């Protein structure tokens, strides 16, 4: 079980990355973690693997207390939770095989068991034929698979992937997510941090949204939502209208596109505030994407 209780993290430079996170992930769950850049997602992941320690609050990972875990116990903690980092972290001068095998050696697995297991996980993720290659000889998607194989090799209770589809095209992303689903169906807890909204929507799993270092929404069978828009309020609509008007006045050269979109924003009757559906989420997002056209948008 992964559990964060009232967790705060302030980095040395004073950045308050987490501001009171409460989150429990039970064994066997599949959870998406979403949220804007800088919201604290990777900080949570790094905490679950004891790379970062909480400033206050309690983090328990499969029975280990991250606040007080001894350095020498960290490899054993990491045996229970495999992490696929945002930047893979493969070792450049080692082969694919060695990249995966060394994490088994780190926890003292006998040599005779290593080969069999490494071959098995490389095969499971579909890169066994690249076993002798170096990471630089692989595509981004293949490197990602090696990182997953490495996270899996010690047969962890949980696997946590930070933005695993970041470098993949939509088809590959879907494939990778299906692989993670397969791993989950074999009993491993899976936590996936992602910006890939289509993927999140397609799988309809539990979705935890982080914003400003806090959990702002936690839904089972949810869709990807901009966390600040979990409630589609009259205020949000009006704010979008005001911004649209301001842009219209401030940047007339953006002309037609801005104007015609602004006309579509309802000013009289706010949208009903209901549980967001796929439709309402898309609509309100379209509305505010308009607000995000910082680079001149379609001008």
Residues making contact with ligand ATP (CB under 6 A): 11, 13, 15, 17, 35, 37-43, 86
Q: CB of residue 195 vs ligand ATP: minimum separation in angstroms?
A: 7
Q: CB of residue 87 vs Mg ion: minimum separation in angstroms?
A: 10
Q: Which is nearer to Mg ion, 157 or 163 (CB)?
A: 163
Q: CB of residue 17 vs Mg ion: minimum separation in angstroms?
A: 10
| Interaction partner, residue 255 (ligand ATP, Mg ion, none; CB < 5-8 Å by kind) | none
Q: What angle do CA 22, 28, 31 make, to 5 degrees?
A: 50
Q: Which is nearer to ligand ATP, 35 or 135 (CB)?
A: 35
Q: CB of residue 19 vs ligand ATP: minimum separation in angstroms?
A: 11
Does 230 help bind Mg ion (rule: CB under 5 A)? no
Q: CB of residue 17 vs ligand ATP: minimum separation in angstroms?
A: 3
Residue among 17, 35, 42, 216 that touches Mg ion (CB under 5 A): 42
| Interaction partner, residue 11 (ligand ATP, Mg ion, none; CB < 5-8 Å by kind) | ligand ATP
- Stretch near Mg ion under the rule CB under 5 A, chosen from 42-50, 106-114, 118-126, 200-208: 42-50
**Which residues share a beta bridge with 30?**
190
Q: Which is nearer to ligand ATP, 41 or 205 (CB)?
A: 41
Contact residues toward Mg ion (CB under 5 A) are 42
């Amino acid at each position: 079980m992964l559990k964060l209780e009232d967790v705060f993290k302030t980095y040395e430079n004073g950045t308050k990355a987490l501001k009171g996170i409460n989150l429990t992930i039970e064994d066997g769950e599949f959870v998406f973690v979403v949220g804007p850049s800088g919201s604290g997602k990777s900080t949570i992941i790094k905490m679950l693997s004891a790379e970062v320690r909480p400033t206050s609050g309690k983090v328990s990972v499969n029975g280990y207390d991250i606040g007080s875990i001894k350095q020498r116990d960290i490899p054993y903690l990491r045996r229970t939770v495999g992490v696929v980092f945002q930047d893979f972290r493969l070792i450049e001068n080692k082969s694919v095989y060695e990249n995966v095998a060394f994490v088994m050696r780190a926890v003292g697995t006998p040599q005779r068991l290593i080969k069999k297991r490494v071959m098995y996980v490389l095969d499971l993720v579909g890169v066994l034929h690249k076993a002798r290659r170096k990471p630089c000889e692989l595509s981004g998607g293949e490197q990602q698979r090696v990182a997953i194989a490495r996270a899996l090799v010690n047969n962890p209770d949980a696997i946590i992937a930070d933005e695993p589809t970041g470098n993949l095209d939509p088809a590959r992303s879907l494939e990778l997510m299906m692989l993670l689903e397969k791993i989950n169906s074999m009993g491993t807890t899976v936590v996936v941090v992602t910006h890939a909204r289509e993927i999140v929507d397609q799988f309809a799993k539990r979705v935890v949204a982080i914003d400003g270092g806090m959990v702002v929404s936690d839904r089972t069978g949810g869709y990807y939502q901009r966390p600040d828009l979990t409630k589609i309020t009259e205020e949000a609509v009006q704010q979008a209208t005001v911004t649209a008007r301001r842009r219209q006045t401030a940047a007339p050269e953006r002309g037609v596109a801005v104007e015609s979109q602004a006309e579509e924003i309802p000013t009289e009757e706010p949208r009903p505030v209901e549980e967001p559906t796929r439709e309402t989420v898309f609509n309100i997002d379209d509305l505010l994407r308009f607000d995000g056209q910082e680079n001149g948008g379609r001008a």
